[in-house]
Chain A
Amino acid sequence: SAVISQKPSRDICQRGTSLTIQCQVDSQVTMMFWYRQQPGQSLTLIATANQGSEATYESGFVIDKFPISRPNLTFSTLTVSNMSPEDSSIYLCSVEEGLAVADTQYFGPGTRLTVL
């Protein structure tokens, strides 16, 4: 499976600031996703990062708060904007491998964000 790295691995930020998280894959992939895991909660899909076009956001998530870039098939960024303590979460990128309609997603190591 693809090797996925994320930067930073963790950060502590002040409220009102923004943080950009990078996701790098060692091979070209069509589908990349961003998830959030809030403390004690499950993983929730934020958006699908589309190469060359705007990301597709899930209900409850908006571009102004979570702008996403996908400049090529191996890289994506997620920005958490105007942060508040409620944004404290683990943020994960994932990639889907394979050409079937339903394929397995593989996850990066995650970015643990704490907002004070």
Chain B
Amino acid sequence: GENVEQHPSTLSVQEGDSAVIKCTYSDSASNYFPWYKQELGKRPQLIIDIRSNVGEKKDQRIAVTLNKTAKHFSLHITETQPEDSAVYFCAASGGGGNKLTFGTGTQLKVEL
């Protein structure tokens, strides 16, 4: 089955800096890669996603890149703000149905 690895597990940045979180996946049939943000005690919230026919997608301060050949995808957050502090999960899905295989999460802390 699919396996998703996520790094780093914790990331601390200064406000205004950029943050990058990286994930790799194992199943070449995966074709959908969402990113979720989860604040303490809250539900995972979809923040951006990318499909396998696209190499990069941007939404304001957030961008995701996908390298299908290398089977890795990354989340980039620019101009980080304290409210960006949360746990971020990458996931992969494909091969029919909506099963998401999640990475282990990255605790992002944005310091003032």
A and B found bound together: no
Please give the residue numbers on chain A whose beta carbons come within 8 Å of chain B beta carbons, in ascending order.
none
